[in-house]
Amino acid sequence: MIRLKPLLASLMCASLVCAALPAQAEQRTLRVYNWFDYITPKTLTDFKAETEVKLVYDIFDTNEALEAKLLTGNSGYDVVVPSNVFLAKQIEAGVFQPLDRSKLTNWQHLDPALMKLVEKSDPGNRFAVPYMYGTVLIGFNPEKVKAALGNDAPVDSWDLIFKEENIAKLKQCGVALLDSPSEILPLALQYLGLPPNSDKPADYQKAEALMLKIRPHITYFHSSKYMADIANGDICVAVGYSGSFSQAANRALDAKNGVVVDMRLPKEGAPIWFDMLAIPKNAANAEDAHVFINYLLRPEVIAPISDFVGYPNPNKDATEKVSPAIRNNPNLYPTAEAMTKLYTLTPLSRDAERARTRAWTRIKSGT
């Protein structure tokens, strides 16, 4: 609808024409803040067509970027998608409003076993709904890794990254890590035989020492750039999110550039995370936020998103609708055995958080 210009409207009202005009409702606007490359364009188009809601859809690539907006007290968004460990901290800070389950009629499709895992971050599942889940793992270019390390390259082990003799040889073809202390430092702790969720500042000094040994061989830290670079053959190894390597493999296929992208869930284990749909306490349009979340809970809506982004979703009635290439890939949908080695991340004490942040700053600067 094209609205009348203010001056014209006032003149019409002055001549009593306004009395004859039917009331026109303002178009509803929903503001969503989601991860980079994390939904199909068709999902958004179909939602807008069905609801006639205007969508403002913005993207971020780290939990830290989202948290910075949320903790200002006025994010400007109606739906946001934090990972579960950040969600737990943000719930404690009073950032979100409780969900109205009466408006989420598709809740029944959620997998109870996964909802139980999520309760560690959101007791009673009061504030958020899982959107996608996955792991942090290793993505690689088989040809380039073989050229650097030979046929026995430990692509299924964190030795590929944390053993200096391995990563030093991979430097020539490029290695990228997530720019996320909350996800990389737990890997270093685990590799050292320490608790991934350690609350001891001294443990972060040990993790820092390990990271500084391999730091000269890391090409860069970034939480989205690696997807395009590994698909283009510009890097050969990345530590990133499981589904991102599925997307990168598809990009390389579409580009017909001869690049192959593979991935492995390391045998030692890795973090499992959940990205959660939540409504900020100060959301301007909580009503349509519930409509949007309920829409994403439909099996026929969420399954194509899993196909597109390469991540499993927590909707038990959608699994059979997900592409076999994804649901039957143990690096994306972990096996029962692999699940026993996966761990969730939890919020740290203030002292440990400070120690981790300081360690990360030194790691990135290489000092």
Model pLDDT for residues 312-357, shown as the tens digit of each residue:
999 999 999 999 999 999 999 888 899 889 998 988 999 999 999 9
Q: Answer yes or no: are the C-beta atoms of 105 and 290 closer than 8 Å.
A: no
Region 76-81: mean pLDDT is: 98
Give the pLDDT score at 367: 79
100-105: Cβ within 8 A, 24+ apart: 100/290, 103/287, 103/290, 103/291, 103/294, 104/129, 104/290, 104/293, 104/294, 104/297, 105/294
Residue carrying the six token digits 């991935």: 263
Burial label for 294, CB within 10 Å (0-12, 13-18, 19+), is middle
Domain 29-134+274-335 grouped into CATH 3.40.50.880: no
User: What is the average pLDDT score of the chain?
Assistant: 92
- d(C-alpha 161, C-alpha 211), whole Å: 10
Domain with CATH 3.40.190.10 in the chain: 29-134+274-335, 135-271+346-365
Q: What is the DSSP letter of 18?
A: G
Q: Which residues are within 8 A (CB) of 60 and not within 5 positions of it... i.e. 6 or more apart?
A: 33, 34, 35, 36, 66
Model pLDDT for residues 147-187, shown as the tens digit of each residue:
999 999 999 999 999 999 999 999 999 999 999 999 999 99
25 confidence band (pLDDT: 50, 70, 90): low
**Looking at the domain covering 135-271+346-365, what would its CATH class be?**
alpha beta
Closest to 178 in 3D by CA, of 106, 95, 273: 273
Task: State if pTM tops 0.85.
Answer: no
- d(C-alpha 109, C-alpha 301), whole Å: 12
Whether the pLDDT of residue 20 is over 90: the answer is no
Which helix (H) or strand (E) segment is 215 a member of?
none
Whether the pLDDT of residue 12 is over 50: the answer is no
Q: Which residues are within 8 A (CB) of 304 and not within 5 positions of it... i.e. 6 or more apart?
A: 40, 42, 43, 321
Model pLDDT for residues 87-143, shown as the tens digit of each residue:
999 999 999 999 999 999 999 999 998 999 899 899 999 999 999 999 999 999 999
Give the pLDDT score at 13: 39
- Higher-pLDDT residue of 20, 224: 224
> What percent of the chain has pLDDT above 70?
93
What SS3 class is residue 246? Answer: helix
Region 186-197: mean pLDDT is: 97
